[in-house]
Structure 1
Amino acid sequence: MAKTKKQPRPKAAAPKGFRDYFGSEVTQRTEMLQQIAGVYHRYGFDALESSAVETVEALGKFLPDVDRPNEGVFAWQEFDEKDNGDWMALRYDLTAPLARVYAQHRNDLPTPYRRYAMGPVWRNEKPGPGRYRQFYQCDADTVGTASMAADAEICAMLSDTLETVGIPRGDYLVRVNNRKVMNGVLEVMGLGDDQAARNNVLRTIDKFDKVGESGVRELLTKGRLDASGAYIDGVGLSEDQAEPVIAFLTSKAADAAGTLANLRAAVGASKAGADGINELEQIGELLAAGGYGADRIEIDPSVVRGLGYYTGPVYEAELTFEIFDEKGRKRQFGSVAGGGRYDDLVKRFTGQEVPATGVSIGVDRLLAALREKGRIQAVETGPVVVTVMDRARMADYQAMVAELRNAGIRAEVYLGNPKNFGNQLKYADKRNSPIAVIEGGDEKANGVIQIKDLILGAKIAESATLEEWKERPSQFEVPRDQLVAKVREIFATQDTQD
Structure 2
Amino acid sequence: MAKDSKERRPRAETPKGFRDYFGAEVSERKAMLDKIAEVYHLYGFDPLETSAVETVEALGKFLPDVDRPNEGVFAWQDEDKDWLALRYDLTAPLARVAAQYRNDLPTPYRRYAMGPVWRNEKPGPGRFRQFYQCDADTVGTGSVAADAEICAMLADALEAVGIPRGDYVVKVNNRKVLNGVMEVAGVLDPSDPEKFAHERGIVLRAIDKIDRLGPDGVRALLGEGRKDESGDFTKGAGLSVKQAEVVMGFTSAKRDSGDATVARLRELIGGSVLGAEGVTELEQIAALLAAQGYGPDRIVIDPGVVRGLGYYTGPVFEAELTFEILDEKGRKRQFGSVAGGGRYDDLVKRFTGQAVPATGVSIGVDRLLAALRAKGRTGGDTTGPVIVTVMDRDRMADYQAMATELRRAGIRAEVYLGNPKNFGNQLKYADKRQSPVAVIQGTDEAARGVVQVKDLVLGAKIAAEASHEEWKSQPAQVEVARADLVATVRQMLGRG
Q: TM-score range by the shorter chain?
A: over 0.9
- Which residue identity lines up with residue 434 of structure 1 in the other structure? P
- In the alignment, the residues of structure 2 paired with residue 161 and residue 70 of structure 1 have an alpha-carbon distance, to the nearest angstrom, of 34
Return the TM-score normalized by structure 1: 0.92
Name the CA shift for 1:22/1:210 in 2 (closer, same or farther; >3 Å): closer
- In the alignment, the residues of structure 2 paired with residue 55 and residue 241 of structure 1 have an alpha-carbon distance, to the nearest angstrom, of 39
Name the CA shift for 1:465/1:248 in 2 (closer, same or farther; >3 Å): farther
Q: Does 1:297 align with 2:293?
A: no
For residues 279-290 of structure 1, what are the structure 2 equivalents within 5 Å?
Answer: 279-290=281-292
Counterpart position of 2:448: 446
For residues 137-148 of structure 1, what are the structure 2 equivalents within 5 Å?
Answer: 137-148=133-144
Q: Percent identity?
A: 73
**How many angstroms does 1:161 deviate by?**
0.9
Name the CA shift for 1:222/1:402 in 2 (closer, same or farther; >3 Å): closer
For residues 84-483 of structure 1, what are the structure 2 equivalents within 5 Å?
Answer: 85-193=81-189, 194-217=196-219, 220=222, 237-306=239-308, 308-376=310-378, 380-464=382-466, 472-483=474-485
Q: Is the Cα–Cα contact under 8 Å of residues 307 and 316 in structure 2 kept in the other structure?
A: yes
Structure showing greater relative contact order (alpha-carbon pairs closer than 8 Å, 6 or more residues apart): 2
- In the alignment, the residues of structure 2 paired with residue 363 and residue 10 of structure 1 have an alpha-carbon distance, to the nearest angstrom, of 31
Name the CA shift for 1:223/1:76 in 2 (closer, same or farther; >3 Å): closer
Name the CA shift for 1:11/1:478 in 2 (closer, same or farther; >3 Å): same
Q: Is the Cα–Cα contact under 8 Å of residues 385 and 411 in structure 1 kept in the other structure?
A: yes
Structure 2: gaps spanning 5 or more residues: 190-195
For residues 478-493 of structure 1, what are the structure 2 equivalents within 5 Å?
Answer: 478-493=480-495
Q: Residue 71 of structure 1: SS of its match in structure 2?
A: helix
Residues 307-353 of structure 1: CA deviation (Å, up to 9, x unaligned): 52210011111111111122211111111111100111111111112
Q: Is the Cα–Cα contact under 8 Å of residues 222 and 233 in structure 1 kept in the other structure?
A: yes
Q: Is the Cα–Cα contact under 8 Å of residues 179 and 307 in structure 1 kept in the other structure?
A: no
**How many angstroms does 1:419 deviate by?**
1.6
Name the CA shift for 1:174/1:10 in 2 (closer, same or farther; >3 Å): same
- In the alignment, the residues of structure 1 paired with residue 55 and residue 20 of structure 2 have an alpha-carbon distance, to the nearest angstrom, of 27
- In the alignment, the residues of structure 2 paired with residue 420 and residue 217 of structure 1 have an alpha-carbon distance, to the nearest angstrom, of 68
Counterpart position of 1:39: 39
- How many residue pairs get matched? 490
- Which residue identity lines up with residue 95 of structure 1 in the other structure? T
CA RMSD of aligned residues (A): 2.4
Residues 180-239 of structure 1: CA deviation (Å, up to 9, x unaligned): 000110111123443344334334323322343455456545777866799988655455
Name the CA shift for 1:447/1:197 in 2 (closer, same or farther; >3 Å): closer
**How many angstroms does 1:72 deviate by?**
1.1
Name the CA shift for 1:280/1:386 in 2 (closer, same or farther; >3 Å): same
Name the CA shift for 1:25/1:72 in 2 (closer, same or farther; >3 Å): same
- Which residue identity lines up with residue 15 of structure 2 in the other structure? P
Name the CA shift for 1:246/1:112 in 2 (closer, same or farther; >3 Å): same
- Which residue identity lines up with residue 110 of structure 1 in the other structure? P
- Which residue identity lines up with residue 184 of structure 1 in the other structure? G
Answer with 335-344 or 452-461: which moved more. Answer: 452-461
Q: Residue 82 of structure 2: SS of its match in structure 1?
A: strand
Answer with 242-251 or 332-341: which moved more. Answer: 242-251
Return the TM-score normalized by structure 2: 0.92
Name the CA shift for 1:472/1:158 in 2 (closer, same or farther; >3 Å): same
Q: Is the Cα–Cα contact under 8 Å of residues 217 and 226 in structure 2 kept in the other structure?
A: yes
Q: Is the Cα–Cα contact under 8 Å of residues 460 and 470 in structure 1 kept in the other structure?
A: no
Structure 1: gaps spanning 5 or more residues: none
Name the CA shift for 1:378/1:406 in 2 (closer, same or farther; >3 Å): closer
Q: Is the Cα–Cα contact under 8 Å of residues 322 and 332 in structure 1 kept in the other structure?
A: yes
Q: Is the Cα–Cα contact under 8 Å of residues 456 and 469 in structure 1 kept in the other structure?
A: no
- In the alignment, the residues of structure 2 paired with residue 257 and residue 187 of structure 1 have an alpha-carbon distance, to the nearest angstrom, of 23
